Amino acid sequence: MSDTPARRGRPGYDQGQVLDVAVQVFIEHGYDATSVSSLAERLGLSKSALYHHYASKEQLLEVALEEALGGLEGVLRSAGSSTDGAGARLERVLRGAVAVLVDKLPYVTLLLRVRGNSEVERAALERRRRFDRDVTALVRVAQEEGTVRADVDAGLATRLLFGMVNSIVEWYRPTGAEGAAELADDVLRVALDGLRAAR
């Protein structure tokens, strides 16, 4: 749900509920192909009632992308404030990213489908690139400290790790047998065991 303060609107939807439905419609039809009219129709609202919650379709997208990006950036900040070694911090980032993905599954799905066709999308893509650069820097430090193998390029390792994490949006179902913690354990087992330096 959005951290934006809730404004009760007509008839019976709050901002978080409107956002949840909008994200689903953006995923189903694509952001560019979704009109304000189609969003209002899905919600059973008039366009003016929808505008009571959000000023524009772009604002809906911006708030939705913040749900995903804010969570991922928070994971990185939390790991960065730790005094653990880089290998342990990398593990924490991966575990946290899986938790964000499971908790914010539709929002992360939308983020991964952004193509940069608007200013809001381009800003989101730049934040994703910055996140990737920061993780790559962390992988590099883990290589230097000897906890992650150094014979794999740090940038490639980051792309492979997050390629695996991001693929979860395609098949994970919250009603399945595994919760976020178990899923993170499995991801770490598969991802990091191949990168860990031989001892």
Asked if the model's pLDDT at residue 10 lies above 70, the reply is no
- Average pLDDT over every residue of 40-59: 92
- Average pLDDT over every residue of 168-182: 84
Q: What is the pLDDT of residue 187?
A: 86
Q: How confident is the model at residue 81 (pLDDT cuts 50, 70, 90)?
A: confident
Q: What is the pLDDT of residue 8?
A: 44
Asked if the model's pLDDT at residue 1 lies above 50, the reply is no
HSE of 147, CA atoms in CB hemisphere, 13 A: 15
Q: What angle do CA 176, 4, 40 make, to 5 degrees?
A: 75
Contacts of 120 (CB under 8 A, 6+ apart): 58, 61, 62, 65
CATH 1.10.10.60, the chain: domain bounds? 15-55
Block residue for tokens 């008039």: 46
For the domain spanning 15-55, the CATH number is 1.10.10.60
CATH 1.10.357.10, the chain: domain bounds? 60-193
- Name the superfamily (CATH) of residues 60-193: Tetracycline Repressor, domain 2 (1.10.357.10)
State which of 7-11, 158-162, 194-198 shows the largest mean pLDDT. Answer: 158-162
Asked if the model's pLDDT at residue 4 lies above 80, the reply is no
Q: What is the pLDDT of residue 192?
A: 78
